[in-house]
Amino acid sequence: MNALEFFQKSAGKWKSQRTTHHLAFRRAEKGGSEIYVNPLNADDPKVIEICQMHEFDPATAIGGAYVKWDGTMAWDKEDDENHSGETVFALVPDDETGRKGKLLRERGYAEVMPVIGCYEIDDEDALVLITEYPSMSSYERFWFPAPNVRMRASTVQRFGGFSTATFCTEELIEEASNAETVEENSPVTQPAIASVFGW
């Protein structure tokens, strides 16, 4: 399985239950969200736009995905936090297998900025994403224990120490063919606020 096939397997709407450990405060926070994943072909205008944004030849991309999410966290105060958003990314493999390469993001997981991360499909067919930011780094691992269940574990490290560790269980609640459709020609937009549910 290559990275594009992993995201094709992720197509549809997912219900996510998550626990985030804020290590500096020694506290855990629970939350939930709905996540919609739409894989994109290599010739999709959004994939081409992301490649051009990062100055990569669009012909080197094997595809990508559009991801939209809407969630809440236990510590949210009214109108203080926004855990909804959307993002687009493109996959640029290092070789013909497509199992390792660059993930070009419109926005990052830990910081709201265009960013280039690294992806790899490991020996257990799990997707590993590593992204370095100016002030932090994130590590994410996704895997399927069953076709309709996806697990996700992630850590965010800043200033030399881990600040958060998160574990999610995600259940497929709507197949891709029945999930909401995405406007194929809608422009790539930059959300105004970061979300911990981002890819």
> pLDDT value at position 194?
33
Scored b (16 or more CB within 10 A) or e, 155-169 reads bbbeeeeebbbbebe
Give the pLDDT mean for 63-75: 81
pTM to 2 decimals? 0.82
pLDDT at position 193, please? Answer: 28
Closest C-alpha to 130, from 118, 115, 142: 118
Average pLDDT over residues 9-29: 91
